Amino acid sequence: MPMKWASVLVLIQLSCSFTFGSCGKVLVWPTEFSHWINMKTILDELVHRGHEVTVLTSSASILIDPNKSSAIKFEVYPMSLNRDAFESLSMQSVKKLTYYPTDTFWTYYSRIQEILWEYYAYIKKFCEDVVSNKQLMRKLQATNFDIVLADAVGPCGELLAELLKIPFVYSIRNTAGYNFERYSGGLLCPPSYVPVIFSELSDKMTFMEKIKNMLYMLYFDLWFQMFNVKAWNQFYSEVLGRPTTLYEMMGKAEMWFIRTYWDVEFPRPLLPHFEFVGGLHCKPAKPLPKEMEEFVQSSGENGIVVFTLGSMVSNMTEEKANAVASALSQIPQKVLWRFNGKKPDTLGPNTRLYKWIPQNDLLGERFVRGLRKVEKFWNTQ
């Protein structure tokens, strides 16, 4: 059995009671966009195996849709903040979180500082809306959940687990400077050979590069302490009626599921409660819709280009759309563009617009065929 599914089975066992044949109740504290897409893969597997999954989401959620037909249950809580403002913040984050080749480490993180501080303020308000909702908390208590599954990027799951007196596990890719993982999970990241993300350093650093890497880690420590952690420490202490810290609460996690592969990471010491689960969302490719298959097959030897700006962007201004369409029209490949706006005037005959692209089905088998071609090439050299 692949290691990634072994990790999911650990979660399943944690969510089950000790009585043979019985299944557990899982409460989920998610975040938005690609984080939700990755987490939903785990939830679908839990539901498939007979577990009861309840996702706690706000009325301002952007991607999480409780109205979609699903075996997953949703508990929607009202939000006291403006939904439009939250959605606007999410759209702004697309630009600020995009890493450009011309960016330095400092220019990149100075941009995302602004958006993340505002983002954490929203998450904190979401959490306040939940724990202050006495009717909702009584309902959660009465449901007798067995475990909480949370995304560590958006705190609060650990507080809910503490209030409900149940264990919890995390699903996460990474936090800035590996801050939560280091201070709460105990993950060792020696700055002498574990480079900070986006530092463009390798695990074989010169003495000056090691100093630079150390400064990067100190920078994130200061960042989290001054503008993030203090507010959460006070909030958690007030809710629990005793002094505590965010790091202390997060440190109680039973497992940290890391959404990547260990073999694409730099070598580092690992602890037993950290498990790599990269690729959980990968599935065998399904047949494409007839029209899309015919368009792809007409590409010939030039191949195809799949153009999408991810789960956070579905539209853009007319001017930008025309600029992108003009550029795409000049390449020899056939282009499948995920776009939900007005058809650009400069759209070329080699480009088709789709509101949704089945990327797994579109790229899965073709990627495998591409690897076979590369393998065949190298075997003949």
Distances (CA, A) of 339 to 32, 46, 255, 309, 336: 20, 32, 38, 9, 9
User: Residue 8: its pLDDT value, please?
Assistant: 52
Q: Are 196 and 220 in contact (CB under 8 A)?
A: yes
CATH topology classification for 3-276: Rossmann fold (3.40.50)
Q: Is the dihedral of CA 228, 234, 238, 241 positive or negative?
A: positive
Q: Is residue 375's pLDDT more than 60?
A: no
Q: Is residue 205's pLDDT more than 90?
A: yes
Q: Is residue 290's pLDDT more than 60?
A: yes
Q: Are 105 and 199 in contact (CB under 8 A)?
A: yes
Phi, psi of 322 (to 5 degrees): -65, -35
Q: How confident is the model at residue 7 (pLDDT cuts 50, 70, 90)?
A: low
pLDDT digits (tens, 9 = 90+) for 257-277: 998 888 888 888 889 999 998
In the chain, the percentage of residues whose pLDDT exceeds 90 is 37
User: Residue 83: its pLDDT value, please?
Assistant: 63
Residues of the chain with CATH 3.40.50.2000: 290-379
Tell me the CATH number for domain 290-379.
3.40.50.2000
pLDDT digits (tens, 9 = 90+) for 135-182: 999 999 999 999 999 999 889 999 999 999 999 999 998 888 888 999
pLDDT digits (tens, 9 = 90+) for 13-51: 554 544 444 578 999 999 877 788 888 888 988 998 889
pLDDT digits (tens, 9 = 90+) for 90-140: 566 555 566 667 778 778 777 777 777 777 888 898 899 999 999 999 999
Q: What is the pTM of this model?
A: 0.74
Beta strands in the chain (DSSP E): 25-29, 52-58, 73-77, 147-151, 168-172, 256-258, 274-276, 304-307, 334-338, 351-354
Residue 168 CA, chain-centre distance (Å), reads 18
In the chain, the percentage of residues whose pLDDT exceeds 70 is 81
